[in-house]
Structure 1
Amino acid sequence: MRDKKTPETETSGSQEQPSPRERTIKKYPNRRLYDTSTSTYITLAEVKQLVINGEPVSVRDAKTGDDLTRSILLQIILEEEAGGTPMFSEAALANIIRFYGHAMQGFMGAQLEKSVQMFVEFQARLAEQTQGLSPEKWTQLMQLNAPAMQAWMGSYAEQSQKAFAQMNEQMQRQAEQMLGAFGIKKR
């Protein structure tokens, strides 16, 4: 449902300029989203498709220029979680919530980001190695090549474990430095 042209001459107090190739979406008080690069209103589903396509997107409040990108991305995730097969279990969501306000909040965010990035890289390597396989061939590969799949998954698990160990070491060093600044030595 795209409407053509809208007044793009409204003033906006944008605090931060988007990068040249970034798609700027303006969010109006009536909750409509306006894509400034195509001069059309777009839906949340279309913003989702831009993200899936790898296009950098910035969502700004049309009146104040405030950055609303995170809230729009979270809204997309919420809609995906509510309709269909959720990615996060209730236990996973509860654990994430428990980290808010906790001293480890920053480390948890960094660890989640590293894990997701490693999974994306793993997925890209797998897609590269299995280019051109039909659904039938995929089924055969999964059934006949269980050891290879286990090796791939083992590689991903090993990378995750290494990242977690690095994060743990970094946390220990930072804790020792912080305690040392207060004159407290590690026992």
Structure 2
Amino acid sequence: MSRSKPSTEPKTPKGSAVPPPTAERVIKKYPNRRLYDTTSSSYITLAQVRELVMSREHFAVRDAKTGEDLTRSILLQIILEEEAGGSPMFTEAMLSNIIRFYGHAMQGFMGSYLEKNIQSFMEIQAKLADQSKGLTPEMWSQFLTMQSPLMQGVMGNYLEQSKNMFLQMQEQMNRQTEQMWGAFGLKR
């Protein structure tokens, strides 16, 4: 009579094995522009990559030959498709202003500034969604009717705070630059 080894895998209350922690999902991009999901062992579309983003899955897109990280490039491609899809988020003026920051002394700060602002906006959105959970369909309809002026007020205040934060950051950089020049005995 042979004995089987006891399992060393942790068990859930129902007795099934706990799945291992999820590692980074790797998607390989081939020269023919096809994307191969190594987790599902299948080719996927850009729309499916967008679904991964929407479901907050952590993934990386790598060049199949070189291993180079292409994640940012694929994310920008998704944004481009969304922008071309009929209801763009960015105006031409905004895109032009973003382009103007490349090569500018403030380029390094612009990315973190935008990231913090989007994170703050998402937090506001989450709070509004949380507060609206108990609304009936009639109340929801009234809320949506009032939303435009309300959101304009909320966003106006938020944007004013954001602008002030950016101006403070710019002032601080100017002071630090003046101090640095002063340390070298140079005056502006």
Question: How high is the TM-score relative to the length of structure 1?
Answer: 0.77
Deviation at 1:134, TM superposition (A): 5.8
Question: Which residue is 1:44 aligned to?
Answer: 46
Q: Within 5 Å, give how 1:92-103 maps onto structure 2.
A: 92-103=94-105
| Letter matched to residue 123 of structure 1 | Q
Cα distance in 1 for partners of 2:86, 2:137 equals: 22
AA aligned to 1:29 is P
1:10 maps to what in 2? Answer: none
Where 1:60 maps in the other structure, the secondary structure is: strand
**Cα-Cα RMSD:** 2.6
| Corresponding residue pairs, total | 168
Displacement of 1:35 in angstroms is 0.9
CA distance in 1, matches of 2:168, 2:22: 35
Corresponding residue of 2:90: 88
Q: CA deviation at 1:131?
A: 1.8
C-alpha distance in 2 between matches for 1:27 and 1:146: 42
Q: Deviations over 1:97-150 (max 9, x none)?
A: 111111121122222111111111111111111125466533301435778656
- Displacement of 1:154: 5.1
Instruction: In structure 2, list runs of 5 or more residues that go unmatched.
Output: 1-20
Moved more, 107-116 or 83-92: 107-116
1:139 and 1:173, CA in 2 relative to 1: closer, same or farther beyond 3 A? Answer: farther
Name stretches of at least 5 consecutive residues in structure 1 with no aligned partner. 1-18
TM-score normalized by structure 2?
Answer: 0.76
Alpha-carbon distance in 2 for matches of 1:157, 1:133: 28
Q: 1:89 to 1:146 in 2, by over 3 A?
A: closer
Paired residues for 1:113-124 under 5 Å: 113-124=115-126
1:159 CA drift (Å): 4.3
Q: Is 2:158 the counterpart of 1:182?
A: no
- Bigger Rg over Cα: 2
Distance in 1 between residues matched to 2:130 and 2:140, nearest whole Å: 13
Q: RCO (CA 8 Å, sep 6+): is it higher in 1 or 2?
A: 1
Identity %: 67
| Residues 1:82 and 1:135: Cα distance change in structure 2 (over 3 Å) | farther
Deviation of the 1:185 alpha carbon: 4.5
| Corresponding residue SS for 1:25 | strand
Q: Which residue pairs with 1:7 in the alignment?
A: none
Cα distance between partner residues in 2 of 1:182 and 1:115: 36
- Inter-partner Cα distance in structure 1 for 2:161 and 2:82: 28
Residue 107 of structure 2 aligns to which amino acid in structure 1?
Q
